[in-house]
A and B are shown apart, each in its own frame.
Chain A
């Protein structure tokens, strides 16, 4: 009995009227955890009941604590008939299980019903007493921290980055069970919500176990996804990067459980020749990995061998468990023999991170991706080895070999996704092949790295652009030049990656969102025929998406793509491809050539005229874009850049003429001359359309920029105003005789209109930038296309932007902590006090104090104090300045907005709702994240049988998304947080049946709950470092108590 869960039901408010006669409700609450249920008394005749219950105590295993959600049901008591359910609240208590996160969950939660939506609110207090039995932690994985953020979280330091962890669990979907025919939609929805919650908990616990096995203490870049496979089941899968993290202000806690430095790790041979054998098989057979499975698959995967020791203890609800052990028979052959290198010891040297500590990324090879078409089969045969696990293992293996072919031993910015239509499933994986600094992957060498990285061979700012592969033995033809920055190493002419722009990268001008959009008609077919036709289409789609991206990049005068995400969606009668990336001009890479159009019939005069007209338009566009994105690279004398590479053969119309595996987007194979224009040959009407469509992309209106990376290259002066939003559109693409061309145009218009609409909506925020623009495409039905966009608009200061542009090398990625330093230096320099006359960085001080394990010397503490005074002074003036704008109503909110350290049991009357910010980014501009409270991972279903009455499909979905936001905010606020970072809407499945007046929607969201402090409120902070630093042993958990 390693844990005691305590729950108190305080009160409810704004409950719905359940008794029509009295216009009141007799409400009571059921509190359920595992198989134990408690009930409160009935609070009669009130819409605002005050239960003030006792503490309900559940004595449970910590394993159960990890898997199970706390389920709170509000009911209306009825003497004569069955009690009516008002709604439920599911609370994930995982954040209470690690000591550094939240200590109490307390607040108002929306009471949610899958049919009626939010119906009032309930005030709940939840606590967990964990018995500190460390041995027990081995059975469960309490204590392993999870982060959605795809970088090292702000207030932590990476001691070791261990690498890839993955897991999946499978179950039958309750929606498809026989019992669903006799139960109500509500019961079915709730069964589904509960099951997914349970499966997520289990999955997280199992991943946690793997992390502990690797001797890590955290998972960063945790991405959990659901595959709704329909009748063949429900798959919950997750990937992440195991790390050993160290809290910055607190070194003693959370060192790896075992600090044995005995692991033997050797230098990785950077210039290891790519194995030609493993590679050559790839390109020569384009469909090599678009295999599809004919063998029946099963829903219940086999039990794994080693790690899942708990399974014997808890045979739960018939749930199958995904296999962890790749050691299990069928994959032994796939496994490489253990090699010496640190990375190759790992089965998959993959990292889900997109941003890295400085010095971590040595070279970047390019994008690697793999797709595979599979047939889902409903036959459950537990002995059949073919499982979802095997499918993914296959794909990962392929990714690994592609990376190797690029001379890289690792894949960063790695992600996986699926697209399912009926029984066909496309599995996709992509990432960026890279060479990493091995020292980050070993024990306790982080500090060393920080110091030594300067002497690292590759100069900062361009090193990552240098090719990792051998130029004489290139895996594909590419045009190499000497680096425009250091002139020592070779660089490719174009670089595509899935990661964020590295902090140290030198960029010219600003970046922009680049999208490639594509539709391909497909015959309706069944099973294998269907899978075959999809497999046949995929390479062409990949190819065209790539061509579009390349053309659009050139049209903007840029030479690199970051954050590339290619999504291929399968529908009944078509495939859609949507690629999004952020284009930038990397100073290290050569200036891209223009685009040259060549006609097929050069003798026709009018045709020539037309061609030259188009050429002019293209040239004008390029010139305009260069101006718009401020791309003015310094001119370089030609002779410096000699090219030892033999000039590749002239390009034909195709970008990639060689028959290369298209599933493997090794984006470097662009064999056109450096200054040579990029030739587009117009040989048919299709090509003409393509050129036209190139020119239809309208740049954002003035004052707007957009990107799909964390931040916009070239802008670094964000103001704290942010607006996160989700927009969803469903459109009918059909024409009477749909052709690829008309579909393409419609799809393109749909995306462009959606963007236009966003710009219009957010016009009041100008100047601003849409960051992390994330498009998701689904094909819910014949001819229906659903596009969901989540992004954040951030305003920036225009005046400062101009200054920043003058020094493009000063990178924009100065995040919360460094920004903070910069600002603080200003008043310090003005100060005449000799002690503080030298610029003094508090953040560094804390770091030093923490890492040296000693208290701060007295002299330094004095300085610290004077620094505190200054901050206080500054904060006061800031506050004074802002008084004018505060209205009477605002008075209550600073408490909520601000630092939530003085939380007590909330008063049930008149409490104002605390503001919770949400952002898909890992940081908040103008603020410092002081604490991570735990992961938010929520799954909701909403259904209606009165669609028209709820305002049609738009009214229904609008309300639902607003409700999801509200529930996320409520959970974060109850954890004591005031923001969600790295927020993502992973799934939005919408189905409607207008004839029956019905609709259903499933939404899955996740993110990291955090506490942030505005820089203007920093006067509260100095108390923390000055007390915490001299006594590094004091737990950081104190902050919120």
Chain B
């Protein structure tokens, strides 16, 4: 006796989180049933394999029908076909757009092109993420990237509105093409980069100024994924801090006097102050050139993090130093710049 047709439709769409995860991971119905069996559902619920198969198929059909809507989450909220409680809708979107950090780390800063998609087999092998899941996640990245490419306004908010906040980092990286793959940067996780991206967008982007962008300003026309040109241009002015010897000395004496006795690596600080200061300022000065932008993280690691680490600075030392280093000058531009740099460095300063 075979069931040719077997459906279950609830007025409120039933979502089984476990089956959803299996579906997202790219398992076939048969694989999903096998995994559920291993999970011991039969013993718990005292049911039969046939029931489990039927249930899994039902859920898979539902997810397949939902997938079209998940491609545009706001449509999921507006659609009439499936009645899903809001918190469940949120869960569906969240899980659908959730990504494996290992995979995201691999893809950070890469062009989301067909070529990259073809390399997913290797990525899948390296990261242990199923190939079907890899493709889905890749398509998600691409979809988000495409959707916000043309939009104005704060990037993070746009993505939040259309998808999920986490994506801001990926889009930001894909947009700016920061170098993340160098051996030197391998110790940094996806979460580190995501946090950095968030601070950079938070402090530097146009939308971050808290006031609506002046529509006449040239950057109002720019997508928010790019850092505002005027800001980057202004950063060049900061070079004077290291170029002018008097200013540099003044800065050093201010910081050193504030930190004397409070920091364990005072001698090292005094010795390295000029090198550090140069590195910190120059990183910003280089951001106007697309090619130099790529090296942003490499520079920070090479010229700030690694020297400090070799001098055995503690994270607390670095924090104190950066706080006073920033506070020694009162200038809106300087503070805005240093806020993001400080956040990035503190996040990245680990083994």
- Where the two chains meet, the residues of A that have a C-beta atom closer than 8 Å to any C-beta of B are 13-14, 108, 110, 118, 121, 701, 723-733, 746, 749-750, 753, 756-761, 763, 784, 786, 887, 889-890, 892-893, 911-913, 915-918, 951, 953-955, 957-959, 961-963, 965-966, 969-970, 990
Q: Which residues of B contact A733 (CB under 8 A)?
A: 1
Does A757 lie within 8 Å of B51, measured CB to CB?
yes
Which of B1, B8, B55, B61 is in CB contact (< 8 Å) with A749? B1
A729-B3, A757-B55, A962-B13 provided; 10 other pairs, C-beta below 8 A?
Answer: A13-B78, A728-B6, A730-B5, A731-B3, A757-B51, A759-B47, A760-B55, A955-B64, A957-B5, A966-B80
The distance from the CB of B156 to the nearest CB of chain A, in whole angstroms, is: 15
B9 to chain A, nearest CB (A): 4
- B4 interface neighbour in A757, A784, A893, A965, Cβ under 8 Å: A784
Q: Which residue of B lies closest to A730 (CB)?
A: B5
Q: B260: CB under 8 A from chain A?
A: no
Q: Is A915 within 8 A of B51, CB to CB?
A: no
B81 and A724 contacting across the interface, CB-CB below 8 Å: no
Q: How far is the CB of B14 from chain A (nearest CB, A)?
A: 6
Find A729's partner among B6, B10, B11, B79 (CB 8 Å cutoff). Answer: B6
Is B246 an interface residue, CB under 8 A from the partner? Answer: no
Contact A730 B11 (CB under 8 A): no
21 contacts between A and B (CB under 8 A): A13-B78, A14-B78, A14-B79, A118-B80, A118-B81, A723-B11, A723-B14, A725-B8, A728-B7, A730-B5, A760-B52, A760-B55, A761-B58, A784-B4, A890-B86, A954-B61, A957-B7, A958-B7, A958-B65, A959-B65, A963-B81
Given A14-B75, A757-B54, are A962 and B65 neighbors across the interface (CB < 8 Å)?
yes
Residues of B within 8 A of A13 (CB): 78
Q: Is B199 an interface residue, CB under 8 A from the partner? A: no
The answer to whether B331 has its CB under 8 Å from any CB of chain A is no
Q: Looking at the assembled complex, report how far the CB atom of B59 sits from the nearest CB atom of chain A, in whole angstroms.
A: 9
Q: Is the CB of B11 within 8 A of A917?
A: yes
Which residues does chain A contribute within 8 Å of B9, judged by CB atoms?
725-727, 958, 961-962, 965
Question: Is B78 in contact with A725, judged by CB distance below 8 angstroms?
Answer: no
Q: State whether A729 and B2 are in contact (beta carbons under 8 Å apart), knowing that A110-B80, A701-B45, A966-B80 are contacts in the complex.
A: no
When the two chains form their complex, are residues A913 and B80 in contact, meaning their CB atoms are under 8 A apart? Answer: yes
Verify B87–A889 contact, CB threshold 8 A.
Answer: yes
What's the least CB distance linking A117 to chain B, in Å? 9
Chain A nearest Cβ from B98, distance in angstroms: 17
Closest A residue to B17 by CB, please name it.
A764
Which residues between 45 and 94 of chain B lie within 8 Å of chain A, taking CB atoms?
A: 45-48, 50-52, 54-55, 57-58, 61-62, 64-65, 75, 77-83, 85-87, 89-90
* Nearest CB of chain A from residue B160's CB, rounded to whole Å: 10
Inter-chain contact B4/A731, CB cutoff 8 Å? yes
B257 at the interface (CB under 8 A from A): no
**Contact of B310 with A by CB under 8 A:** no
**Number of residues on chain B facing chain A (CB within 8 A):** 42
A957 CA to B58 CA in the complex, in Å? 11
Q: A701-B46, A887-B87, A893-B86 are in contact. Are A756 and B51 (CB under 8 A)?
A: yes
Nearest residue, chain A, Cβ from B48: A756
The answer to whether B113 has its CB under 8 Å from any CB of chain A is: no
- What residue of chain A has the Cβ atom nearest to residue B69's Cβ? A14
- Closest 6 CB pairs between A and B? A889-B86, A730-B5, A725-B10, A961-B9, A724-B11, A958-B7
In the bound complex, CA of A296 to CA of B116 (Å): 74
Contact among A729, A761, A763, A962 with B5 in the assembled complex (CB-CB below 8 Å): A729
Whether B12 is near chain A, meaning CB under 8 Å from some CB there, is yes
Docked Cα-Cα span, A966 to B81, in Å, equals 5
Q: Which of A756, A887, A889, A969 contacts B80 (CB 8 A)?
A: A969
Q: Which residues of B contact A (CB under 8 A)?
A: 1-14, 45-48, 50-52, 54-55, 57-58, 61-62, 64-65, 75, 77-83, 85-87, 89-90
Expressed in whole angstroms, the Cα–Cα distance for A760 and B47 within the complex equals 7
Known: A889-B90, A893-B86, A965-B83. A732 touches B4 (CB 8 A): yes
Residues of A within 8 A of B11 (CB): 723-725, 917-918, 965, 969
Interfacial chain B residues near A727, Cβ < 8 Å: 7-9
Find out whether the CB atom of B55 lies under 8 angstroms from the CB atom of A731: no
Do residues B12 and A723 form an inter-chain contact, with CB atoms below 8 A? yes
Report whether B58 and A958 are in contact in the complex, using a CB–CB cutoff of 8 Å. yes
Q: Which residue of B lies closest to A735 (CB)?
A: B1
B47 touches A750 (CB 8 A): no
A760 touches B3 (CB 8 A): no
Q: Which residues of A contact B64 (CB under 8 A)?
A: 951, 955
- Whether the pair B80, A121 counts as a contact (CB closer than 8 A) is yes
Pair A958/B10 contact, Cβ less than 8 Å: no
List of A residues within 8 angstroms of B87 by Cβ: 887, 889-890
Q: How far is the CA of A726 from the CA of B14 in the complex (A)?
A: 12
Question: Closest approach, in angstroms, between the C-beta of A649 and any C-beta of chain B?
Answer: 42
Question: A918 CA to B86 CA in the complex, in Å?
Answer: 18
**Out of B1, B45, B86, which one reaches A732, CB within 8 Å?**
B1
The CA of A753 and the CA of B49, in the complex, are separated in Å by: 11
A75 to B82, CA, bound (A): 25
Cβ 8 A contact of A990, one of B5, B52, B83: B5
| Whole-angstrom distance between the Cβ of A337 and the nearest chain B Cβ | 51
How far is A763 from B6 in the complex, measured between Cα atoms in Å? 19
Taking CB as reference atom, which chain A residue is nearest B89?
A: A889
With a cutoff of 8 Å between Cβ atoms, the chain A residues found around residue B50 in the complex are 753
Q: Is the CB of B86 within 8 A of A761?
A: no
**B81 pairs with A962, CB closer than 8 A:** yes
Which of A746, A890, A954 contacts B6 (CB under 8 A)?
Answer: A954
Complex contacts, A786 vs chain B, CB 8 Å: 5
Q: Which residues of A contact B6 (CB under 8 A)?
A: 728-730, 954
Residue in A closest to B86 when the chains form the complex, CB atoms? A889
Which residues on the A side are within 8 Å of B12 (C-beta)? 723
In this complex, the member of B75, B77, B83 whose beta carbon has the largest number of chain A beta carbons within 10 angstroms is: B83
Q: Within the complex, which residue of B1, B14, B48, B86 is in contact with A746, where a contact is CB–CB below 8 Å?
A: B1
B4:A958 contact, CB within 8 angstroms: no
Chain A residues, Cβ within 8 Å of B62: 958
Chain B: minimal CB distance from A477 (Å): 41
The distance from the CB of A960 to the nearest CB of chain B, in whole angstroms, is 9
Q: Which residue on chain A has the smallest CB distance to residue B90?
A: A889
Taking a contact as CB atoms closer than 8 A, the residue among B48, B55, B61, B78 that contacts A761 in the complex is: B55
Q: How far is the CA of A344 from the CA of B186 in the complex (A)?
A: 93
A898 to chain B, nearest CB (A): 14
Q: By the criterion CB–CB under 8 Å, are B80 and A970 in contact? A: yes
Residues in B whose Cβ lies below 8 Å from that of A915:
83, 85
Report the Cα distance A753→B75, complex, angstroms.
36
Given contacts A753-B50, A760-B51, A965-B9, contact A912 B77 (CB under 8 A): yes
A961 touches B55 (CB 8 A): no
**Chain A residues whose C-beta falls within 8 Å of the C-beta of B4 in the assembled complex:** 730-732, 784, 953
Which one of B11, B47, B78, B82 has the highest number of Cβ atoms from chain A below 10 Å of its Cβ? B11
Chain A residues whose C-beta falls within 8 Å of the C-beta of B80 in the assembled complex: 108, 110, 118, 121, 913, 966, 969-970
B45 contact set on A, CB distance < 8 A: 701, 760, 763
A56 to B312, CA, bound (A): 80
Our pick among B2, B58, B81, B89 for the contact of A110 (Cβ within 8 Å) is B81
Q: In the complex, what residue of chain B is closest to A762 when comparing beta carbons?
A: B14
Tell me the bound Cα distance from A955 to B58 in angstroms.
9
Query: Which residue of chain B has its CB nearest to the CB of A999?
Result: B5
Q: How far is the CB of B258 from chain A (nearest CB, A)?
A: 43
- Closest CB in chain A relative to B148 CB, distance in Å: 19
Taking the closest CB of chain A, its distance from the CB of B290, in whole angstroms, is: 32
Please, which residues of chain B bring their CB within 8 A of the CB of A758? 8
In contact, B10 and A724 (Cβ under 8 angstroms): yes
Q: Which of A733, A759, A958 has the most CB of B within 10 A?
A: A958
Q: Cα distance A731–B86 when bound, in Å?
A: 36
Closest chain B residue to A918 by CB distance? Answer: B11
For A961, the chain B residues whose CB sits under 8 A away are 7, 9
- For A728, give its contact among B5, B52, B75, B78 (CB under 8 Å): B5
Assembled-state Cα–Cα distance A915/B78 (Å)? 12
Contact check, A731 vs B1: say whether CB atoms are below 8 A apart.
Answer: yes
- Measured between alpha carbons, how far is A555 from B330 in the docked complex, in Å? 89
Q: How far is the CA of A331 from the CA of B23 in the complex (A)?
A: 64
